[in-house]
Amino acid sequence: MKIQTPYSLLNLIIVVTFLLVLNTGQYLSLNTNNTDIDFLHCLIRNSDDPDSISRVIYSPNNSSYISVLQFTLNNLRFTSPTTPKPRFIVTPVHESQIQTLVYCSKKHGFEIRTRSGGHDFEGLSYVSQLPFVILDLKNLKSVTVDIQTATAWVQAGATLGELYYEIAQKSRNLGFPGGVCYALGLGGHVSGGGYGTMRRKYGLAADNVIDAQFINVHGKILDRKSMGEDLFWAIRGGGGSSFGIILSWKIKLVPVPETVTIFALDRTLEQNLTKIIHKWQYVAHKIDKDLDIRVLMFSVVNPSTGNRTIRATFDTLFLGGIDRLLALMQVEFPELGLTREDCTEMSWIEAVVIGSGFTNGEPLEILLNRSALPKNSFKGKSDFATIPISEDGFEGIWRFYNDQIEAGMALLVLTPYGGKMDEISGSAIPFPHRLGTLYMIEYVVGWDGNETSPRISWIRSLYNYMTSYVSNSPRRAYLNYIDLDLGIGKNYVEAKDTWGSSYFKNNFNRLVKVKTMVDPSNFFKHEQSIPRWF
């Protein structure tokens, strides 16, 4: 990036042409304000390649603006006509273009909202109440796998599916403990404490990061050594968007066996689900760390009775073969009634494809399709259980989920901890939910359309009901399931007393210290970004 260099005649022609045409033949409207024009002027003037940067800037006058905005916008709740829209979207193809964007956004008073995969639960990566620009990293998606060192450099705009695919092209004995949703962007997933089905064996994605490239508020590109250990600690689970812009991660790949086993076993209330799920609470966090038994629960109609019931799917990955799995389950969790016929052996990458929602036998290339899954509106919340919930407590949950009028497309997910999650200190990275956590609870309700739905009130009522059954002082929450219901803290005290302690517990103060040190002007901010000291 070059700063405030004099114009050559060629640059002047490019600026004038771009300001009029915006590279698609769409002329700027006559009422475009001076700030917007000055901002564009700044981007062109300070770019090393004015022609190149002009091709990655989209204004509302651009015919591609809406499609670019919505391509990785995954919560339709934020597509209504009244939702604030960005003044510009920038989709850089080179890191220097981000440096230029940071400089010009600071100079002309625009917020930057950084989007890698677009799965932000509250839309904070693509919505702001102040004039803002979206930095969409979708073009920065290279993945470089080094089998000899069992590491990979992956850019922030790459998806988990693209990472898993590239690993599989090099080795079937290596993997990465990232999430099951293949379309998640690595930038936000890792920096928010992302997890997957191997967390009990290898911890979180962020636990397996060994270096990073990062652009700070001054537009400088830093690695682990130059940023220092405090900032490197903060961006691995503390949310990178509070501190700057994640460019790429260097990750440690983990061993996976030639054969893994999966099963997805359904049980309903009529099949003694309440007692089975009650027992699961005592087993899932203590069982062999090669085994992950996640539970997904829905309300469905029982075809035999016509009445509503709860169906739970025990969705499982075992890092080993069927014989060892069956022996383990017979000893530890016979109540589930697992049989050999319920299980399927396959490679780890084949299990990734199925875990991403695709059918067995789909080609691995399906992981490269960023738009294969449907989108809808949704609201999510989270909790952590530190003691088992009683059977009566679950009966109360069932009543909420069987209220089909309000519950609609509602999902309850229980994700067991233990294993490696217990072994890593709660202060090793900002993610504090370690030893003493039985499982995480995710509540999600979805609906068609982009209108505000009464189902938001429903999920808040369910969350209130759960108060006595989950962690307290503070009631904890998971950063990657960001929830503005927890509060919008504009200063240290407001944040610490609400969402700050919920997401980070005692790590919050260290995050504030880092924020104050690296971004004292609070340029990188959103409704729940880390604040500065007073």
Residues 6+ apart with CB under 8 A from 2: 46, 47, 48
Residues 6+ apart with CB under 8 A from 83: 123, 127
Q: Within a 10 A sphere around the Cβ of 360, how many other Cβ atoms? A: 11
Residues 71 and 138: beta-carbon distance below 8 Å: yes
State the Cα–Cα distance between residues 40 and 181, nearest whole angstrom. Answer: 36
Q: List the alpha helices (DSSP H) in 171-286.
A: 186-191, 199-202, 224-227, 229-235, 273-283
Annotated catalytic residue 481: yes
Residue type, 170: K
DSSP-based helix, strand, coil % in the chain, nearest 5: 40, 20, 40
Residue type, 23: N
Phi, psi of 40 (to 5 degrees): -60, -45
Residues 148 and 103: beta-carbon distance below 8 Å: no
SS3 354: helix
Residues 127 and 77: beta-carbon distance below 8 Å: no
What H or E segment, with its residue span, contains residue 31? Answer: none
Helix axes 9-21, 34-45, angle to 10 degrees: 140
> DSSP secondary structure string, 272-300?
THHHHHHHHHHHTTTS-TTEEEEEEEEEE
SS3 178: coil
Tell how far CA 331 is from the center of its chain: 36
Residues 6+ apart with CB under 8 A from 168: 349, 364
Does residue 32 come out as left (phi exceeding 0), alpha (psi in the -120 to 50 range) or beta? beta
Q: For the chain, how big is the Rg over CA atoms in Å?
A: 24
Q: Which of 58, 401, 481, 492 is catalytic?
A: 481
Residues 47 and 98: beta-carbon distance below 8 Å: no
Buried b (16+ CB within 10 A) or exposed e, 328-353: bbeebbebbebeeebbebebbbbbbb
Strand-pairing partners, residue 442, are 382, 413
Angle at 262 between CA 259 and CA 268, to 5 degrees: 170
Widest CA span in the chain: 79
Q: List the alpha helices (DSSP H) in 63-196.
A: 65-71, 95-108, 160-170, 186-191
| Catalytic positions, written as ranges | 481
